[in-house]
Amino acid sequence: MDVRLQRKIHNLENIDRVEAKEVFKYLSPSNEDHVLDLGAGTGYISLAIAKHVQSVVAFDFDSEILQYLEEMATHKKIKNIDISVGDFTEMNLVSESFDKSVASISLHEVQPLSTALREIHRVLKENGMFVCIEIEKVDGIQAPRVSSEEMREEMIKAGFTIEEVIFPEMDVAGQPVYIIVGLKSESK
């Protein structure tokens, strides 16, 4: 493994983030679920949730990170995680194939966001659940961010019914986060 990849893995493994068990509260995984983990990275959600669902597809644009995730799954003897490399705006996934999807701190840099959200909507089954976790846009921070209001509006435009918007008492890298839970409504 090259030094650049080792550094990237180290950074991803050691950043502040919303705990997987916190995500479970909103995702409510069941052993029959097929789950899509968008921006899976090193797999902190994929590896944790795989024990509770039928299957997980770990989706990311970074094939090297997904290879690491695959090695970790093999090491932990987890056999129900498949990896998929691609672009959030053109997912190479079958329509209506997932019961639930989660994107944890992974949509803020995707352009156009509306296209990515329509793709998430497309791959979810009818009444499928999407849990979006993002860092709130705040004044003075120059990094790419999407405000909770903008994300909520874009999710509605993509065809989601918003079930809940949560502002948990936690932060990521010293910045506030939000969680939006949406259900796939009528096909668009």
CA–CA gap between residue 97 and residue 171 (Å, rounded): 32
Per-residue pLDDT of 32-80, as tens digits, reads: 999 999 999 888 899 999 999 999 999 999 999 999 999 999 999 999 9
CA–CA gap between residue 118 and residue 63 (Å, rounded): 23
Q: Is the pLDDT of residue 11 over 60?
A: no
CA–CA gap between residue 7 and residue 13 (Å, rounded): 10
Strand partners, 52: none
Query: pLDDT-derived band of residue 174, with 50, 70 and 90 as boundaries?
Result: confident
Count of structural domains, the chain:
1
Q: What average pLDDT is seen over the chain? A: 87
Strand partners, 83: 58
Helix (H) or strand (E) run with residue 151 in it: helix 148-157
CATH of the domain at 52: 3.40.50.150
CA–CA gap between residue 44 and residue 28 (Å, rounded): 17
Strand partners, 176: 171
Q: In the chain, what is the straight-line distance between the N-terminal and C-terminal CA atoms, in Å?
A: 43
Please list, in sequence order, all residues whose beta carbon lies within 8 angstroms of the beta carbon of residue 18, skipping any fewer than 6 positions away: 104, 105, 133, 168, 170, 172, 177, 179
Domain that holds residue 15: 3-184
Q: Is the pLDDT of residue 24 over 50?
A: yes
Question: What distance lies between CA 178 and its chain's CA centroid?
Answer: 13
- C-alpha distances in angstroms, 34 versus 44, 94, 102, 136, 160? 17, 12, 11, 28, 19
pLDDT of residue 12: 47
Please list, in sequence order, all residues whose beta carbon lies within 8 angstroms of the beta carbon of residue 33, skipping any fewer than 6 positions away: 52, 53, 54, 99, 100
CA–CA gap between residue 3 and residue 128 (Å, rounded): 40
Q: What does the pLDDT average to over 6-30?
A: 64
- What residue type is assigned to position 56 of the chain? V
CA–CA gap between residue 160 and residue 126 (Å, rounded): 10
Q: Is the pLDDT of residue 124 over 70?
A: yes
Entry pTM: 0.87
Per-residue pLDDT of 73-114, as tens digits, reads: 999 999 999 999 999 999 999 999 999 999 988 888 888 999
